Structure 1
Amino acid sequence: MPNMNMQQMMKQARKMQEQLAAAQESLAQVSVDASAGGGMVKVTMNGEMQLTSIKIDPEALDSADVEMLEDMIVAAVNEAHRSVAEQANRQMSAITGGLNIPGMPF
């Protein structure tokens, strides 16, 4: 009987691995947009948390306040990062049934 439980556990583990691989592939296709400063700075980040685009409204450059522009860029990037992480956590929760498994990639 203990062998049967071990076989079931291994089957579940393989299934979870397959689901994780599918989730990672799906997440790689994600593209998240975020903005700051009322849309003066817009960024796009992919599901692998790589920044793929930054758009800066020319009016933001007119102010000549470099520090404010830098802050808006940081805020937009951080918002995009949070959004991707949130999507990854949702996908992981769907796979694990809400269990927090140490060492999992999300």
Structure 2
Amino acid sequence: MAKGGFPGMGGGNMNNLIKQAQKFQKQMEDMQKDLENKSFEATVGGGAVTAVVNGKKQLIDVKIKPEVVDPDDVEMLQDLIISACNEAFKKAEDESAGEMKKMTGGMNIPGMF
């Protein structure tokens, strides 16, 4: 290796590369903390069921309108709850992926999030 760093790096040195990596790592940690503190809500069945998840992908709230609780059709209510939860989780995942894409400039880095 030539003196002064890696070939093709524009004369940059290893210290600059390390500083850039540390800065990127800090930005990633900050982004992850921000996402973990957000909540994502999905409503299905015309407002019958609402699910709320956080950025840690934990279900934190489920709201069910009393008028949709039909003892003769429990399966429909179960399906609505599953659908609302899955949609809320998808919103959280989509935002996480979008933020990651912004951070990496669209590069796909295996093992990240």
The answer, yes or no, to whether TM exceeds 0.5 is yes
Aligned residues: 105
How is 1:4-83 mapped onto 2 (pairs within 5 angstroms)? Answer: 4-62=12-70, 64-83=72-91
- For residue 9 of structure 1, report the CA deviation from its aligned partner: 2.5
Matched, 1:95 2:103: yes
| TM-score normalized by the length of structure 1 | 0.90
The letter for the 1-side match of 2:51 is V
Residue identity opposite 2:14 in structure 1 = M
Task: State the identity as a percent.
Answer: 43
Deviation of 1:24 after TM superposition, in Å, equals 0.9
Higher helix share: 1
Flag the structure with more relative contact order, 1 or 2, with Cα contacts below 8 A and sequence separation at least 6. 1
Moved over 6 A (4+): none
Per the TM alignment, residue 66 of structure 1 is displaced from its structure 2 partner at its CA by 0.9
Is residue 85 of structure 1 aligned with residue 93 of structure 2?
yes
Deviation (angstroms), 1:88: 0.6
Gaps of 5+ in 1: none
The 10-residue stretch of structure 1 (57-66 or 15-24) with the greater mean CA deviation from structure 2: 57-66
Amino acid at match of 1:22: D
2:69 aligned counterpart, secondary structure = helix
Per the normalisation by structure 2, the TM-score is: 0.85
Alignment RMSD? 1.5
Q: Unmatched 5+ residue regions in structure 2?
A: 7-11
